[in-house]
Amino acid sequence: MASAQKVSTCFWFDTEAEAAAKFYVSLLPDSRVTAISRYGKNERMPEGLALTVTFDLAGTEFTALNGGPHFKLTEAASLVVQCESQAEIDRLWSALLAGGGKEQQCGWLKDRYGLSWQIVPTALPAMMQDTDPERSGRVMAAVMGMVKPDIAAIKAAYRGH
């Protein structure tokens, strides 16, 4: 099946591509694994191991590749998830940290597979882009002091409380 998306992202894994893709699609509604190709006999990785896993996260297509230990995921690229509610932030935050993920500053975290994520309240970009530099500055200071985003605290900073 051809992708309707002209450009997509491929993530390099050692051998965890299939497990990672299945985990990622479990996190977001309207997500699914769409295709898996596997290594055959006498190839560079074990026969039957997923070579590529194509998956859709809430309408965006990605590919996970098992290519061996040559390259590692870094914070230089991350998935950004816009969250409507604190409950959604809390759910995703807990799920992504489970099994060995690591929290970082300002709504960033790294999951157990090494992929970096930004969990962002949907209201945050508009507050940070406010034309009032005092309001946007308070929001930036609040976010910089957080690990997991706290929507109520961000809104309070925006209002000057």
Do the domains 1-72 and 73-161 sit in the same CATH topology, yes or no?
Answer: no
pLDDT at 61: 97
Class of domain 73-161: alpha beta
pLDDT at 160: 94
Class of domain 1-72: alpha beta
- From the list 96, 107, 92, the residue with the least C-alpha distance to 150 is 107
In DSSP notation, 1-36 reads ---S-SS-EEEEESS-HHHHHHHHHHHSTT-EEEEE
| Cα gap 32→48, rounded to integer Å | 21
Domain segments of the chain as ranges: 1-72, 73-161
pLDDT at 5: 85
The answer to whether 56 and 25 have CB atoms below 8 angstroms apart is yes
What average pLDDT score do residues 19-39 get? 98
pTM above 0.85, yes or no: yes
- 108, pLDDT greater than 80: yes
| Cα gap 136→26, rounded to integer Å | 34
pLDDT at 39: 98
pLDDT at 4: 72
What average pLDDT score do residues 137-151 get? 97
Q: Where are the alpha helices (DSSP H) in 82-149?
A: 86-97, 124-128, 133-144
What average pLDDT score do residues 75-95 get? 97
